[in-house]
């Protein structure tokens, strides 16, 4: 199945989920849904800047940043879908790292200089 999202690939999401993901967490149909959910969250956080619609005009370095954020956000959905797959400390550690990335994105996406440098 082809990737459904624009900002991240299913392979990037699988890397973000990490080793020993459950069958449900690594199912490509699910990762595609989570990518679309992540993109929706990112678009909402950017206050409608058109991250997906204007993807072609975004500079390459920012495309990589957006892919990292989108794949981590999609992994957040995956891990929360089946949090008992790992021991509690591992699950919490994964979610803490992902939340840190998300919080940085929420702060950075409000920076006018970043938006201007992205090319959107």
Place of tokens 């999401």: 13
Contact between 7 and 39 (Cβ < 8 Å):
yes
Which residues of the chain form beta strands (DSSP E)?
none
Mind listing the pLDDT tens digit for each residue in 17-50?
Answer: 998 889 888 888 999 999 999 999 999 999 988 9
- Tell me the torsion sign for CA atoms 68, 33, 24, 85: positive
pTM as predicted = 0.92
| Ranges of the chain whose pLDDT falls below 50 | none
The tokens describing 79, both together, are 């891990």
Give the per-residue SS3 of 6-30: CCCCHHHHHHHHCCCCCHHHHCHHH
- pLDDT of the residue at 84: 86
């Amino acid at each position: 199945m082809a990737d459904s999202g624009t900002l991240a690939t299913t392979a990037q999401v699988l890397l973000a989920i990490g080793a020993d993901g459950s069958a449900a967490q690594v199912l490509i149909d699910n990762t595609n849904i989570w990518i679309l959910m992540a993109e929706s969250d990112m678009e909402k956080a950017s206050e409608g800047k058109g991250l997906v619609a204007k993807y072609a005009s975004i500079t390459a370095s920012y495309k990589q940043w957006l892919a990292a954020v989108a794949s981590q956000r999609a992994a957040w959905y995956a891990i929360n879908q089946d949090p008992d797959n790992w021991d509690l400390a591992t699950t919490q550690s994964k979610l803490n790292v992902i939340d840190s990335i998300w919080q940085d994105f929420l702060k950075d996406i409000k920076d006018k200089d970043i938006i201007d440098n992205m090319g959107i």
